[in-house]
Amino acid sequence: MNYKSTRNSSLQVTAAQAIAQGISAEGGLFVPETLPEITQDDLRMLADKSYVERAKFVLGKFLTDFTEEELANCVESAYTADKFGSDDIAQLAHLYDGTYMLELWHGPTCAFKDMALQLLPHLLTVSAGKTAQGKEMVILVATSGDTGKAALEGFKDVPGTKILVFYPEDGVSNMQKRQMTTQEGKNVGVCAIKGNFDDAQNGVKAIFTSPEMAEKLAEKNRMFSSANSINWGRLVPQIVYYISAYCELVKAEEIQCGDPINVVVPTGNFGNILAAYYAKGMGLPVKTFICASNANKVLTDFINTGTYDKNRAFHTTISPSMDILISSNLERLLYALSGEDDKQIADWFGQLKSQGTYTVSEDVKQKLQAEFVGGYCDDCATKATIKAVFDKYSYLCDTHTAVAVKVYEDYKKKTGDTTKALIASTASPYKFTGAVLEALCGEVPQMDDFAQVQKLHEMSGLPIPTALAELKNKSVRFAGCIEAGQMPETVLSLLGE
């Protein structure tokens, strides 16, 4: 299995090269040359396996230059009961008839990013050993909240790596900020920027593709890589949990093998829902992908019109991990839908960079709308959904999962589609305690973050994650804030250059 770039189809690299490099030199994203097949017989076989065994099976189809022993070591080191609370790594909750919550937040940082970022450091270490000739890997991350902490925790004190994270100063929750700024580890660095996530993401991409920065790192025997979902090693583990969830439904006799399901994902950077799309491409029976956005509804508008337009007001919402106007992983989807037309992709994303907008062809729009439905809701509807779901089902959603629930309910009312649905539940409610309490109580209680956590526990009975409770006594290590244009020099400073 080789990989090519969305902006250069003639390029051929191994999985290890794609993971170590993170992004192609011309700015394209690496994609597999073909999608491997998973059959119904495979799904029946996997239904009786553990999450670790399912992960080995699926990842083995993509990471063909990893030995069986290397891949086993990576997977078994990442997905442990100590890290995820049980051997049931991606837990399913039956919300109501035909609707299931795929809880992806039982890992060490209480967000779905752990599902990939507990594995990526192991994949990257193996990849670097195969391709980087002993270079130190500098992991550069832009985050809207969850990726940053999950990456920091995953790469903390990993030999041969340094990790630097940039986040928007006013674009993450208090708990997310505290998670990052108190991060332990000798090889980590964190810095806020004045701006939003897109500013941080654009800054990281510019650094990645800068020959001058690459030269400065090379002088010290270093190279950049990424922990954002632009890195194939971040995206491919996410395919696993959709296949695993389907197998769990088969095992529980909630569906018959071969029955289609709908998949609902609260989406910002488009990576999580793209992983489900790739799973379908392999053979997972998915009928419709329901893409849920908050007030920053650039994806909803794109799916409905075929025009991507980031020239709009940016909204800071109570679901900050979705406060994004440039959805990087959409490039991979459009590459597939356009028949792998790398020149067209380069043109569209060149227009996005220069003009802030592009319009896909009618053919691509029709293919998009045949697979995807877009919907959105604002903060008011998000909070109303949190309360309604809790009151009716005693199930507590965070502010991102609630967006998905609301958009799915709207979809059902509009279409009458009763296909059983899997909703990606992406974060613990305790990461957004103030907003969740406001949803339940009508106002944010006037108390500090940790008193709010205790109050939410008393109201819901939901256990407080140990990792969040321990933040109360940790000291802030990283308090810096810079202009987005200062990111290159800040990277060099954090690296001690």
Point out which residues pair with 375 in neighbouring strands.
292
Predicted confidence at residue 314, as pLDDT, reads: 93
Predicted TM-score (pTM) of this structure: 0.93
CA distance 70 to 53: 14
Strand stretches in 303-370, DSSP E:
307-309, 357-359
- pLDDT-derived band at 238 (thresholds 50, 70, 90) equals very high
CA distance 139 to 448: 33
- The span from the CA of 65 to the CA of 70, in Å, is 10
Residue type, 129: G
Q: What is the mean pLDDT of the chain?
A: 95
How far is it, in rounded angstroms, from Cα 226 to Cα 120? 10
User: What pLDDT, in 10s, does the model give residues 277-310?
Assistant: 999 999 999 999 999 999 999 999 999 999 999 9
340-367 burial string, b = 16+ CB within 10 Å, else e? Answer: ebbebbbebbeebeeeeebebeeebbeb
Q: What burial letters (b/e) apply to 267-293, b meaning 16+ CB within 10 Å?
A: bbbbbbbbbbbbbbbbbbebebbbbbb
pLDDT tens, position by position, 447-494 = 888 999 999 999 999 999 999 999 999 999 999 999 999 999 999 998
Angle at 76 between CA 189 and CA 121, to 5 degrees: 20
Query: Residues 106-158: pLDDT tens digits?
Result: 999 999 999 999 999 999 999 999 998 889 999 999 998 788 999 999 999 99
Question: Could you tell me the two tokens for 380?
Answer: 């008011």
